[in-house]
Amino acid sequence: MNSKLEEELEKLNVKRVKLSKFLSKQNKQTVSANQLELLKQQKQVMAKYAKVLKLRIEDLKEVK
């Protein structure tokens, strides 16, 4: 089970990096202000999700 969580975390982190790179290149001419705000919110939620996954992985390691 641990490996599935680690794989999920790895995939999430790849997506987070891609989103961060995308956001760093965007401005109001390429993406609407609303879309930009929503993408920023998505990035924040992804970071929280990654943190929870890390905590779950650590917790499972401690149980063993």
Three-class DSSP category at 30 = coil
- pLDDT at 62 (0 to 100): 85
Q: What is the pTM of this model?
A: 0.85
- pLDDT at 63 (0 to 100): 76
The CA R_g of the chain, rounded to the nearest whole Å, is 15
36 Cβ contact list (under 8 Å, min separation 6): 23, 26, 28
CB burial readout 8-28, b (16+ within 10 A) else e: ebeeeeeebeeeeeeeeeeee
- pLDDT at 50 (0 to 100): 98
Series of mean pLDDT values for 10-residue runs along the chain (64 residues) = 90 97 81 92 98 95 79
